[in-house]
Amino acid sequence: MTHEFESLRPALAYLSPDEISQIEQAYEFSRSAHEGQFRKSGEPYISHPLAVAGILAGWHLDAQTLIAALLHDVVEDTPATVSEIEACYGKPVALLVEGVSKLDKLAFESEQHAQAENFRKMLLAMAQDVRVILIKLADRLHNMHTMGSMPAEKRKRIAKETLEIYAPIANRLGLHSVYQELEDLGFRYSHPNRYQVLAKAVKAARGNRRELVDKIKIALQEKLEHCKVEATITGREKHLYSIYRKMQEKNLAFSEVFDIYGFRVVVRDQPSCYLALGALHSLYKPIPGKFKDYIAIPKANGYQSLHSILFGPNGTPIEVQIRTADMNRLAESGVASHWMYKSADAALNDVQTRTHRWLQSLLDIHADHGDSPEFLEHIKIDLFPDEVYVFTPKGKIMALPRGATAVDFAFAVHTDVGFHCIAVKINYELMPLRTQLRNGDHVEILTAANASPNAAWLNFVVTGKARSHIRNYLRNTRVEEAAALGKRLLTNAIAALHPDGIEPDPAVWDRVVKDYGLQTREELFAGIGLGRKLPLVVAHQLLHVQGEKTGVPAHPHAISIRGTEGIAVELAQCCHPIPGDPILGFIHKDRGLIIHTHDCTSIRAFRTDPDKWLDVEWEAEPGHMFDVSIKVVVGNQRGVLAKVAAAIAEHGSNIGNIAMEEEDGSPYTVLYFTVQVENRMHLARVMRGLRVLPDVVRIFRIKGRKDGRAAQPQ
């Protein structure tokens, strides 16, 4: 059966005889392990790992990678183990095989969770060694070429996964030809009918336009020769998925997509790129705004080229790419160029540096998010194919995904800059942090030592790094605030049971913490503060009170509330309590302590469960403004709204929201205000100030919903 290996041998000519011998040995190991296994197409299974190794050999990958490619399915599909592979071929090969192998699906509740966990495992392995993803991309490429015998539903699922994950990763690593091939294959199996129709249209257009394409190519060649620029020109056809995507994004019919064909001009050196550009611009006029210089500002994956769209004969748009031979080599092979062209080329080193930086960012995101579905979400965000290029105050170029904001930029500069940013200057003008950045923007972030991330930032950030760090900060802050509240609640519960103030000894703490399956007291405090554990129950356990609950005093000490504790204490939206109102605290699972007024209509049904309620009181000087809703009935007079708003402002209150209700034919209008006051006395002053207005008929504070019906506890 070794004749199958002979088909691979010519592609291994760049390796030493010893390395080829090791690869042949690995082939025999894999063939033996997969003996009796067949693909859906009926071919012996060994044909797949052999084809994957062939693809990688085409990229001139090292012997370890080719051995791992031949063995990449043996751990998953045969009795062979990683330990066995390590013993035969060494630890590096074993790590590559382990990184590519899927996890045991039986360990997961759902296929979706297993898929997310497999991506997490693969991407982490890739961050340690980029060869893992190169094997996986070759594996996916061969699978996509041989999917014809699979059920249609499975084909669509794999095609969707290819378009969402594998093609963008290939693009991010600069493997341009692999990226295009995966996109076209993904398109073919996810939308088979659309693919067939478009492929047929492109084939017809190719015949119709061949004469025009040949004519343009000759004109380009003659112009460059006349300007003494040595160049090789090739016609280039856009791949099907890029045509389809353009039709979708711009809502175009196929007949309206003219730049299906382009031309690649490969010149001797970098200065010649710009000479060629000038020559071609003098031949055909460039379309304004359609020129991109990726030589001066390379793409994030290291891609370099000049792109320009020209008005060709009869007004036909022509896309031209101008680059050197080295740039062309990098554009096709990307990160794999490291193995294909082992040299001291600065461009190759730059690609490796960029790739390493991106892979390191995957580890940074994972450090903040072990939860696999969330990790995969961040990875998808970071696989944006389009970038914007902006400048730091020192003139450094930074690449960010399309749609990135000033906050994304701040986190890209440094995590600390992101945490403490308060404002941004874009092109030397102060702008909101949510401002989306554009190519060429000069961006300067302003910071403050006491600033911290805002939950609202999650509504507009687009990079995985920014989203990950903000979420992690908010999660930690929530736990810290909940722990502080939980400690106060537990201290109060202990004082209620033992007014003498007994402090549990450390051994009791350790035992109770362990009983709850926790590691530290802080985790226990956080659980109490988030409403997951009742403080009186924990207090009973801590103090070894084994008797009846009748020993618990009926009126434990009240908890003091400032109203500014943060997310661990929440003021209910149904009754808008303010300082001076009699209040109760409702322990809500996961949200901590919710404060309601005593007479809130939405809590009547819950008052019967005393274990969920705590007596709370306002601190003497909360020092904060609180939202409260008021209803004002006024006569239908010109300018009455302005008079009421002015009166509210005169008494030191801000207006948060205004709504109006006018009944047909009625001489009165109902105004609803959300105003900010310091306490109940401040609200009384505001309401007295409104009552003296001649146009005000009635005024009262709203508790509950605007329509008067009870709401559920918030």
Cα 550 to its chain centre, rounded Å, is: 53
Collapsing DSSP to helix, strand or coil, 288 comes out as strand
The one-character DSSP state at 442 is B
Could you say which of 77, 98, 332, 345 is catalytic?
77
Task: In whole angstroms, give the CA distance from residue 398 to residue 389.
Answer: 6
The one-character DSSP state at 710 is P
Q: Residues for the chain: how many in total?
A: 714
| Torsion sign over Cα 133, 134, 139, 142 | positive
Could you say which of 76, 503, 619, 621 is catalytic?
76
* Those residues with Cβ within 8 angstroms of residue 395's Cβ, 6 or more apart along the chain or in another chain: none
Task: Tell me the HSE value of 429 on the side-chain side, using a 13 A CA sphere.
Answer: 5
Residues linked to residue 426 through DSSP beta bridges, in sequence order: 429, 443
Q: Which two tokens stand for residue 443?
A: 């961006």
Q: Provide the total of helices (H) and of strands (E) in the chain, helices listed first.
A: 27, 19
Q: Which two tokens stand for residue 219?
A: 């004109």
Task: In whole angstroms, give the CA distance from residue 454 to residue 434.
Answer: 12
Q: Which two tokens stand for residue 257?
A: 């997509």
Task: In whole angstroms, give the CA distance from residue 88 to residue 420.
Answer: 52
Instruction: For residue 650, indicate whether it is catalytic.
Output: no
Instruction: For residue 77, indicate whether it is catalytic.
Output: yes
Tokens 């759902």, residue?
A: 110
First CA to last CA distance, the chain: 71
Contact 195, 224 (CB under 8 A): no
> How far is the CA of 505 from the CAs of 31, 485, 510, 544, in angstroms?
65, 21, 9, 11
* Those residues with Cβ within 8 angstroms of residue 338's Cβ, 6 or more apart along the chain or in another chain: 348, 351, 352
Task: In whole angstroms, give the CA distance from residue 517 to residue 657.
Answer: 46
DSSP string, 119-172: HHHHHHHHHH-THHHHHHHHHHHHHHHT-TTS-HHHHHHHHHHIIIIIHHHHHH
Q: Which two tokens stand for residue 102?
A: 């899927």
Task: In whole angstroms, give the CA distance from residue 69 to residue 54.
Answer: 9
Q: Which two tokens stand for residue 369?
A: 């998010």
Collapsing DSSP to helix, strand or coil, 420 comes out as helix
- Provide φ and ψ at 44, rounded to 5°: -60, 140
Which residues carry out catalysis? 76-77
